[in-house]
Structure 1
């Protein structure tokens, strides 16, 4: 994974943390921190406030790639602020803070920080309304050496991880700061504009252009919000339990179109199965978007986005299970730091094993054992630590494959009843928030009544192939002589999931 790297020195991270503590302790207004202190991405997120709602209103012209927008942010300060940052890269025309014009400037380090200086200092615990007006060509905006905006022949995709919002709306861009969203996009009549949540209808305010309106009532992370503009073929239906189900397909899918449709249209069935394993589906809508404009898939809340490449060799329900498992593990319960990526990818990968077992294409134990047996001790899979892979290895195969096998090791150690109780309790206790790997370890020990630190240390934080031991530190101890039926599809899926996001 050639993931975006914002790794600072240890002193940089400590300095950010100290600045936050000092600001909180001081009665004098101070600048909000330029990041939340995430070691992988020191400039991700911002200090001094929490956002609660974004109203994003855009006009986008695919012919010129010109994006014009106004984003209104509802937030509350957590300290007295002389200034605060927004994560944003587009050219800004004006900013209002509580209806008063504010000064602003982009950080000269070109790290995607927009610094806002209100006309008067803000009090701690104050509700604020920030209105940002902007216009730019997103595909030409480079932050830290790349652009996450994906221009396509008939539109564009605002889809990426760990960051994508900086190319289409200003935000407090870190998974620990969730908010609700209204997203309205005006585009030419010959294309559609898709986003998350429930569809709020169309409106025509001028000839040749149509507004598309979307609402997310359940708070979501900024990276899981998405924007897809293009000549998509849109399907609208209702799930068996009454939720809106909206899917969209790139008209250039060609021979892959039927395979993509046969896979994505099974989303409600797959979500229904996953609910039996993890608890009730957490959001208000379901769906999916398939595009040839990207090379990976992303767990966009309520409406995952898939590359058409996943369906080039036929239907692929493994990737549907993977991205929809993220609705529980990643979207509903988000990671507290980007180093905790195993909580997203290891769990979603294990969901593929569970789905394969449900479909009769190999048990979870067989799949885990085959992955373990297939990689010799000197294989690179055992050299990356799923529990802290580094920013440049966040989407390495080890995070997916070794990460999933680690969960089977846990299941073997604690037994099925405790294992699934751990997963369901995790979702219940952290619903709508964020948590860390240490929190999961503590929960696993509490639910199972077992000491598990050695297991997690071995599987997540130690270089080398874990030894199979009698205490269940490896998966099953079973002998699997041939690959389970689902193995080839899962491996193809993981190869694409681990593809460079910024390609």
Structure 2
């Protein structure tokens, strides 16, 4: 593009061809999620939060690169009052349409231009009910709050391009006051704690995620926590936060995290991030855990198997993120298979026996696994249903049996290396399996991954 000053009154070429960014990224399961026309590189989120009133005030600095000449673009944001919006330092026009914030810059943004959008906002962030009936978004706890984003909840606390295909780095800075008894609330987020500043009546903590992260994995927990710090054998910092109400049941977590991370690294390749850990909260009634990046979130003290599952996601789902939501079986199936490997390591059933128990329906987690093909959920509300987990793991085991253990673990390590910090899909996984094994695996994947009915034994 060589024309001058996009968006000028003279009606130059750039302004003439600039067009709105698409509303959505073409994901069949979540057609309204995400936005076209740009790619986010970094989110700088500065938040002030008062737990007693559940009031949030935020400034989001969004650095992105335009992928077209851009007349206007969307940001996903549910609720909250937008106070000001600028693009490249100039005031922008803003309109609301459902969960979209429609931003029209004063001047059109040129293709390939790196531009900065600043949104200031405030209000009471929402807790929303996902399509599958589970709670997500900004959820109040008995001593604070937690932000859980899968699949759409992150739009309740910051504006962004909230589809897994657009990953970015993050700086999350949160200021909180003292609680009723004079103690400061803790703030735990993704990545590394960079600074902690006591300002007398408030404390500010700055967390940084240096590796790309899908927005549904972004996280903040505010409350009172017991903090456990340590290191893995590879000198990776470990940061575990435990709600005091869960401390008795979570005594093993701080030691298990580095043990599991070291074990998984030997099988799946080097750990992909610069820190690890866990958050064990006390949130009765929340019926799931979430693989929030670097620091998985648990609503109560987890058992070993659940801890393995969420930590395995750091490789499968967080570093290698599904390109679209229908590819979620690549995350959940591989994380579930990590559970099978851990059980075998601990002297329980071997992976062949677990597979048979799932096939026969005798495993407690096997209910409903034949409802639909793992790679083809019928709706967004079912991307976390049993076929994606249990039958997804069965597909993984069938690949292992077909190619042999040595080739199988080579496939996993190659997968995490080739797509490290990126996005990948089912087609790429199938191609890698066939390339590494030298075998045509069409029948295997057609039967176990894509078939609508329970396969006959083979």
Shared fold by TM > 0.5? Answer: yes
| Counterpart mapping for 1:89-488 below 5 A | 89=78, 90-107=80-97, 110=98, 112-139=99-126, 148-189=137-178, 190-205=184-199, 207-253=200-246, 257-293=247-283, 294-308=286-300, 311=302, 316-374=303-361, 380-390=368-378, 391-469=380-458
1:287 & 1:240 partners in 2: Cα distance? 14
**CA displacement at 1:379 relative to structure 2:** 6.7
**CA displacement at 1:270 relative to structure 2:** 0.5
1:363 & 1:143 partners in 2: Cα distance? 35
Secondary structure in 2 aligned to 1:172?
coil
The change in CA–CA distance for 1:440 and 1:26 in structure 2 (over 3 A counts) is farther
| Counterpart mapping for 1:76-87 below 5 A | 76-87=65-76
Q: Structure 1 or 2: larger helix share?
A: 1
The change in CA–CA distance for 1:379 and 1:171 in structure 2 (over 3 A counts) is closer
For the 8 Å contact 1:375–1:381, the answer to whether it is kept is no
Question: Does 1:47 find its partner at 2:40?
Answer: no
> More displaced, 160-169 or 348-357?
160-169
Secondary structure in 2 aligned to 1:381?
coil
1:346 & 1:420 partners in 2: Cα distance? 15
1:387 & 1:344 partners in 2: Cα distance? 11
Structure 1: 5+ residue stretches without partners: 1-24, 470-503
1:26 & 1:59 partners in 2: Cα distance? 38
**CA displacement at 1:142 relative to structure 2:** 8.5
How many residue pairs get aligned? The number is 432
Secondary structure in 2 aligned to 1:261?
coil
Secondary structure in 1 aligned to 2:248?
helix
**CA displacement at 1:200 relative to structure 2:** 0.9
1:167 & 1:67 partners in 2: Cα distance? 11
Structure 2: 5+ residue stretches without partners: 1-13, 179-183
RCO higher in 1 or 2 (8 Å CA, sep ≥ 6)? 1
**CA displacement at 1:175 relative to structure 2:** 1.1
**CA displacement at 1:430 relative to structure 2:** 1.1
Secondary structure in 2 aligned to 1:260?
coil
**CA displacement at 1:295 relative to structure 2:** 2.5
TM-score under structure 1 length normalisation: 0.82
For the 8 Å contact 1:83–1:115, the answer to whether it is kept is yes
Which residue of the partner structure matches residue 477 of structure 1?
none
> More displaced, 331-340 or 183-192?
183-192
For the 8 Å contact 1:27–1:80, the answer to whether it is kept is no
The change in CA–CA distance for 1:175 and 1:141 in structure 2 (over 3 A counts) is closer
For residues 424-479 of structure 1, what are the alpha-carbon distances to aligned partners after superposition, in whole Å with 9 as ceiling and x for unaligned? 1111111111011111111111111111111111112112222122xxxxxxxxxx
2:145 & 2:429 partners in 1: Cα distance? 38
For the 8 Å contact 1:333–1:433, the answer to whether it is kept is yes
**CA displacement at 1:100 relative to structure 2:** 0.5
Secondary structure in 1 aligned to 2:40?
strand
2:120 & 2:207 partners in 1: Cα distance? 20
2:329 & 2:169 partners in 1: Cα distance? 25
After TM superposition, the runs of 4+ consecutive aligned structure 1 residues lying more than 4 A away are 140-147
**CA displacement at 1:60 relative to structure 2:** 0.3
**CA displacement at 1:302 relative to structure 2:** 0.6
Coordinate RMSD, CA, aligned: 2.1
For the 8 Å contact 2:232–2:261, the answer to whether it is kept is no
**CA displacement at 1:264 relative to structure 2:** 4.6
Secondary structure in 1 aligned to 2:428?
helix
Secondary structure in 2 aligned to 1:45?
coil
Question: Does 1:28 find its partner at 2:17?
Answer: yes
> More displaced, 47-56 or 399-408?
399-408
1:41 & 1:26 partners in 2: Cα distance? 31
TM-score under structure 2 length normalisation: 0.90
